[in-house]
Chain A
Amino acid sequence: DGGITQSPKYLFRKEGQNVTLSCEQNLNHDAMYWYRQDPGQGLRLIYYSQIVNDFQKGDIAEGYSVSREKKESFPLTVTSAQKNPTAFYLCASSPSRGSNEQFFGPGTRLTVL
Protein backbone atom coordinates (compact mmCIF):
# COMPACT_ATOMS: atom_id res chain seq x y z
CA ASP A 1 0.00 0.00 0.00
CA GLY A 2 1.90 3.03 -1.28
CA GLY A 3 1.77 6.41 0.34
CA ILE A 4 3.14 8.95 2.75
CA THR A 5 2.90 8.48 6.49
CA GLN A 6 3.43 11.04 9.22
CA SER A 7 3.70 10.42 12.91
CA PRO A 8 2.52 11.22 15.43
CA LYS A 9 -0.88 12.63 14.46
CA TYR A 10 -0.95 14.88 17.53
CA LEU A 11 2.07 16.16 19.44
CA PHE A 12 2.28 18.26 22.56
CA ARG A 13 5.45 20.02 23.58
CA LYS A 14 6.53 22.19 26.45
CA GLU A 15 8.24 25.45 25.68
CA GLY A 16 12.02 25.07 25.35
CA GLN A 17 11.87 21.49 24.08
CA ASN A 18 12.91 20.21 20.68
CA VAL A 19 10.57 17.76 18.93
CA THR A 20 10.99 15.66 15.80
CA LEU A 21 8.18 14.94 13.36
CA SER A 22 8.43 11.84 11.22
CA CYS A 23 7.69 11.58 7.49
CA GLU A 24 8.10 8.36 5.51
CA GLN A 25 7.18 7.55 1.91
CA ASN A 26 7.28 4.32 -0.07
CA LEU A 27 6.49 5.91 -3.44
CA ASN A 28 10.14 5.92 -4.51
CA HIS A 29 9.97 9.69 -4.90
CA ASP A 30 13.21 11.66 -5.00
CA ALA A 31 11.87 14.95 -3.67
CA MET A 32 10.32 15.59 -0.26
CA TYR A 33 8.91 18.73 1.34
CA TRP A 34 7.79 20.11 4.70
CA TYR A 35 5.02 22.70 4.92
CA ARG A 36 3.43 24.54 7.80
CA GLN A 37 -0.27 25.49 7.88
CA ASP A 38 -1.78 27.99 10.30
CA PRO A 39 -5.54 28.21 10.90
CA GLY A 40 -7.45 29.53 7.90
CA GLN A 41 -4.30 29.96 5.84
CA GLY A 42 -2.54 28.26 3.00
CA LEU A 43 0.66 26.27 3.33
CA ARG A 44 4.15 27.73 3.66
CA LEU A 45 7.31 25.86 2.72
CA ILE A 46 9.79 25.12 5.52
CA TYR A 47 12.42 22.88 3.90
CA TYR A 48 12.70 20.68 0.85
CA SER A 49 15.03 17.98 -0.41
CA GLN A 50 15.48 16.97 -4.04
CA ILE A 51 17.89 14.11 -3.36
CA VAL A 52 19.37 12.10 -0.51
CA ASN A 53 21.90 13.98 1.65
CA ASP A 54 20.83 17.33 0.24
CA PHE A 55 18.18 19.82 1.37
CA GLN A 56 17.33 23.48 0.93
CA LYS A 57 15.65 26.12 3.07
CA GLY A 58 12.17 27.19 2.15
CA ASP A 59 10.43 30.44 2.99
CA ILE A 60 10.21 29.96 6.77
CA ALA A 61 13.18 27.74 7.76
CA GLU A 62 14.20 29.64 10.91
CA GLY A 63 13.82 27.48 14.03
CA TYR A 64 13.58 24.24 12.08
CA SER A 65 16.08 21.60 10.96
CA VAL A 66 15.88 18.53 8.70
CA SER A 67 17.92 15.58 7.56
CA ARG A 68 17.71 13.32 4.51
CA GLU A 69 19.84 10.25 5.17
CA LYS A 70 17.49 7.88 3.35
CA LYS A 71 15.36 8.37 0.26
CA GLU A 72 12.18 7.34 2.04
CA SER A 73 12.59 9.46 5.18
CA PHE A 74 12.64 13.22 5.79
CA PRO A 75 12.27 14.04 9.52
CA LEU A 76 11.64 17.60 10.69
CA THR A 77 12.92 18.92 14.03
CA VAL A 78 11.15 21.88 15.55
CA THR A 79 13.70 23.53 17.82
CA SER A 80 13.22 25.75 20.83
CA ALA A 81 14.32 28.66 18.61
CA GLN A 82 11.04 28.51 16.71
CA LYS A 83 9.03 31.33 18.28
CA ASN A 84 5.53 30.19 17.36
CA PRO A 85 5.61 26.45 16.64
CA THR A 86 1.95 25.62 17.24
CA ALA A 87 0.64 24.67 13.78
CA PHE A 88 -0.34 21.85 11.46
CA TYR A 89 2.68 20.32 9.71
CA LEU A 90 2.37 18.60 6.35
CA CYS A 91 4.93 16.50 4.52
CA ALA A 92 4.83 15.90 0.77
CA SER A 93 6.79 14.06 -1.88
CA SER A 94 7.05 14.15 -5.65
CA PRO A 95 8.92 12.34 -8.40
CA SER A 96 11.81 14.29 -9.88
CA ARG A 97 10.72 13.40 -13.40
CA GLY A 98 7.41 13.62 -15.21
CA SER A 99 4.60 15.73 -13.83
CA ASN A 100 6.24 16.63 -10.48
CA GLU A 101 2.84 16.28 -8.88
CA GLN A 102 3.09 16.55 -5.09
CA PHE A 103 1.40 14.06 -2.80
CA PHE A 104 0.72 14.84 0.83
CA GLY A 105 0.71 12.93 4.09
CA PRO A 106 -2.06 13.19 6.72
CA GLY A 107 -0.26 15.83 8.79
CA THR A 108 0.91 16.29 12.40
CA ARG A 109 -0.74 18.82 14.67
CA LEU A 110 1.82 20.29 17.07
CA THR A 111 0.70 22.19 20.15
CA VAL A 112 3.10 23.98 22.46
CA LEU A 113 1.86 24.13 26.03
Chain B
Amino acid sequence: KQEVTQIPAALSVPEGENLVLNCSFTDSAIYNLQWFRQDPGKGLTSLLLIQSSQREQTSGRLNASLDKSSGRSTLYIAASQPGDSATYLCAVSGPRAAGNKLTFGGGTRVLVKP
Protein backbone atom coordinates (compact mmCIF):
# COMPACT_ATOMS: atom_id res chain seq x y z
CA LYS B 1 0.00 0.00 0.00
CA GLN B 2 1.32 3.42 -0.97
CA GLU B 3 2.33 5.70 1.92
CA VAL B 4 3.31 9.33 1.55
CA THR B 5 5.24 11.26 4.20
CA GLN B 6 6.00 14.95 4.47
CA ILE B 7 8.67 16.17 6.84
CA PRO B 8 8.72 18.56 8.60
CA ALA B 9 5.08 18.94 9.61
CA ALA B 10 5.63 22.65 10.20
CA LEU B 11 8.22 25.20 9.10
CA SER B 12 8.81 28.85 9.97
CA VAL B 13 11.20 31.04 7.97
CA PRO B 14 11.95 34.76 7.66
CA GLU B 15 10.80 36.53 4.54
CA GLY B 16 13.23 36.21 1.64
CA GLU B 17 14.60 32.84 2.64
CA ASN B 18 14.22 29.90 0.25
CA LEU B 19 11.79 27.17 1.25
CA VAL B 20 12.54 23.47 0.84
CA LEU B 21 9.66 21.06 1.35
CA ASN B 22 10.15 17.30 1.27
CA CYS B 23 7.86 14.48 0.21
CA SER B 24 8.64 10.76 0.24
CA PHE B 25 6.61 7.81 -0.99
CA THR B 26 7.04 4.07 -0.52
CA ASP B 27 5.96 2.65 -3.92
CA SER B 28 7.83 3.99 -6.93
CA ALA B 29 5.15 2.74 -9.38
CA ILE B 30 3.45 6.13 -9.60
CA TYR B 31 1.73 7.78 -12.54
CA ASN B 32 2.37 11.33 -11.45
CA LEU B 33 2.99 13.53 -8.40
CA GLN B 34 1.16 16.74 -7.57
CA TRP B 35 1.99 19.53 -5.18
CA PHE B 36 -0.91 21.51 -3.74
CA ARG B 37 -1.34 24.59 -1.61
CA GLN B 38 -4.14 24.85 0.95
CA ASP B 39 -5.11 28.00 2.82
CA PRO B 40 -6.99 27.61 6.13
CA GLY B 41 -10.56 26.43 5.58
CA LYS B 42 -10.17 26.38 1.79
CA GLY B 43 -9.88 23.83 -0.96
CA LEU B 44 -6.65 22.75 -2.62
CA THR B 45 -4.91 24.71 -5.35
CA SER B 46 -2.74 22.69 -7.70
CA LEU B 47 0.77 24.13 -7.91
CA LEU B 48 2.76 21.69 -10.00
CA LEU B 49 2.26 18.27 -11.54
CA ILE B 50 5.21 16.06 -12.44
CA GLN B 51 4.66 13.06 -14.66
CA SER B 52 6.53 9.91 -13.67
CA SER B 53 8.80 10.28 -16.72
CA GLN B 54 9.85 13.81 -15.74
CA ARG B 55 12.57 14.94 -13.34
CA GLU B 56 11.27 18.42 -12.51
CA GLN B 57 8.71 21.10 -13.18
CA THR B 58 8.98 24.85 -12.75
CA SER B 59 6.44 27.63 -12.40
CA GLY B 60 7.63 31.09 -11.43
CA ARG B 61 9.34 30.91 -8.04
CA LEU B 62 8.34 27.26 -7.63
CA ASN B 63 10.42 24.28 -8.68
CA ALA B 64 9.58 20.66 -7.96
CA SER B 65 11.91 17.73 -8.49
CA LEU B 66 11.09 14.05 -8.65
CA ASP B 67 13.40 11.10 -8.00
CA LYS B 68 11.15 8.12 -8.55
CA SER B 69 13.77 5.50 -7.81
CA SER B 70 14.40 6.85 -4.32
CA GLY B 71 10.75 7.75 -3.76
CA ARG B 72 11.32 11.46 -3.18
CA SER B 73 10.11 14.81 -4.37
CA THR B 74 11.20 18.26 -3.24
CA LEU B 75 9.35 21.53 -3.66
CA TYR B 76 11.55 24.63 -3.70
CA ILE B 77 10.03 28.08 -3.24
CA ALA B 78 12.51 30.84 -3.96
CA ALA B 79 12.61 34.13 -2.06
CA SER B 80 9.66 33.37 0.21
CA GLN B 81 6.99 35.99 0.92
CA PRO B 82 4.40 36.26 3.72
CA GLY B 83 1.76 35.37 1.11
CA ASP B 84 3.41 31.95 0.75
CA SER B 85 2.20 31.05 4.25
CA ALA B 86 -0.08 28.04 3.82
CA THR B 87 -0.10 24.27 4.09
CA TYR B 88 1.60 22.43 1.24
CA LEU B 89 0.48 18.92 0.37
CA CYS B 90 2.02 16.41 -1.97
CA ALA B 91 0.12 13.52 -3.49
CA VAL B 92 1.01 10.63 -5.75
CA SER B 93 -1.31 8.85 -8.15
CA GLY B 94 -1.23 5.13 -8.59
CA PRO B 95 -1.37 3.19 -11.83
CA ARG B 96 -3.78 4.73 -14.28
CA ALA B 97 -5.86 1.57 -14.30
CA ALA B 98 -6.59 2.15 -10.61
CA GLY B 99 -8.56 5.28 -11.40
CA ASN B 100 -5.77 7.78 -10.88
CA LYS B 101 -6.41 7.78 -7.16
CA LEU B 102 -4.30 10.21 -5.18
CA THR B 103 -2.54 9.25 -1.95
CA PHE B 104 -1.75 12.31 0.14
CA GLY B 105 0.95 13.18 2.60
CA GLY B 106 0.01 14.89 5.85
CA GLY B 107 1.22 18.29 4.64
CA THR B 108 3.80 20.85 5.75
CA ARG B 109 2.44 24.00 7.38
CA VAL B 110 4.58 26.96 6.35
CA LEU B 111 4.78 30.35 8.07
CA VAL B 112 6.81 33.10 6.40
CA LYS B 113 7.51 35.89 8.89
CA PRO B 114 7.79 39.48 7.62
Contacts and interface: CB of A to CB of B under 8 A. Distances in A.
Contacts of A101: 32, 34, 46, 49
A105 B43 contact: yes
B43 A90 contact: yes
A2 interface: no
Interface residues of A, number: 28
Interface residues of B, number: 27
A22 to B, nearest CB: 14
Contact of A42 (B4, B32, B34, B101): B4
A40 B32 contact: no
Contacts of B31: 100
Interface stretch (A13-21, A43-51, A62-70, A74-82): A43-51
Given A100-B31, A101-B34, A107-B43, A94 B100 contact: yes
Interface of B: 4, 6, 31-32, 34, 36, 41-46, 49, 51, 89, 91, 93, 96, 99-107
Interface of A: 6, 31, 33, 35, 40-45, 48, 50, 56, 58, 88, 90, 92, 94, 99-107, 109
6 contacts: A6-B43, A33-B101, A44-B104, A88-B41, A90-B44, A107-B43
Given A92-B44, A106-B42, 17 more contacts: A33-B102, A41-B107, A42-B4, A42-B6, A43-B104, A45-B102, A45-B103, A48-B99, A48-B101, A90-B44, A99-B49, A100-B100, A102-B34, A104-B43, A104-B44, A104-B45, A106-B43
